[in-house]
Amino acid sequence: MNTRTKNKTGAAWLAFIGGQLGLHRFYLYGWGDLWGWVHPLVAALGWWGMDRVRMYGQDDQTAWVLIPMLGFTIAGTALTGIYYGLMAPEKWNAQHNPAASPQAAAGKTNWLTMAAVVLALLFGTVALMSSIVFSFQRYFEYQVAEARKISQ
């Protein structure tokens, strides 16, 4: 087990900035973390959906499924950054720095930690709401098109 001290502020920023790449997971759990490798795969599928929209237009149904994956990945990692940033120092140190004292500096919350929380809240909310709106808009447009086919 790695005995290096894990910093709460660093983990919150990594989740916010590099969450799509799983950097926060690799920082906390090492390169062997399965969920750390899932993050870039899901994000890459979402970026592929964005590329499909650019190439084939907004009527590409595969992109309808892929684009929300990107938004939900961004929102999920932003939520993870918020969770890390707001975690109590004692809980952080017990979970990620078991060899350190419960009051170790690595688990302290400072203004940089709160900046990561605020920015993650802002961008995570935008990503989540955009993904939901995109999904519902495409779904209802599809339903209207199918209803027109049936009625003719």
Q: What is the pLDDT of residue 2?
A: 53
- Does residue 3 lie within any of the structural domains? no
Report the alpha-carbon distance of residue 86 to residue 83 in Å, rounded: 5
Instruction: Indicate the pLDDT class of residue 3, thresholds 50, 70 and 90.
Output: low
Report the alpha-carbon distance of residue 23 to residue 3 in Å, rounded: 18
- Does residue 104 lie within any of the structural domains? yes
- Does residue 121 lie within any of the structural domains? yes
Pick the closest to residue 142 from 49, 63, 55, 47 (CA basis): 63
Q: What is the pLDDT of residue 138?
A: 86
- Does residue 90 lie within any of the structural domains? yes
Instruction: Indicate the pLDDT class of residue 135, thresholds 50, 70 and 90.
Output: confident
- The answer to whether residue 1 scores a pLDDT higher than 70 is no
- Does residue 142 lie within any of the structural domains? yes
- Does residue 2 lie within any of the structural domains? no
- Does residue 18 lie within any of the structural domains? yes
Per the listing, tokens 């003719």 go with 152
Counting residues of the chain whose pLDDT is more than 70, the rounded percentage is 98
Residue range 80-111, pLDDT digits in tens:
999 999 999 999 999 998 887 777 777 888 99
Report the alpha-carbon distance of residue 150 to residue 145 in Å, rounded: 9
- Does residue 105 lie within any of the structural domains? yes
CB 28 within 8 A of CB 96: yes
Residue range 40-57, pLDDT digits in tens:
999 999 999 999 999 998
Write out the two tokens for 49: 């959906």
Range of the domain at 102: 8-151
Query: What average pLDDT does the chain have?
Result: 91
- The answer to whether residue 21 scores a pLDDT higher than 70 is yes
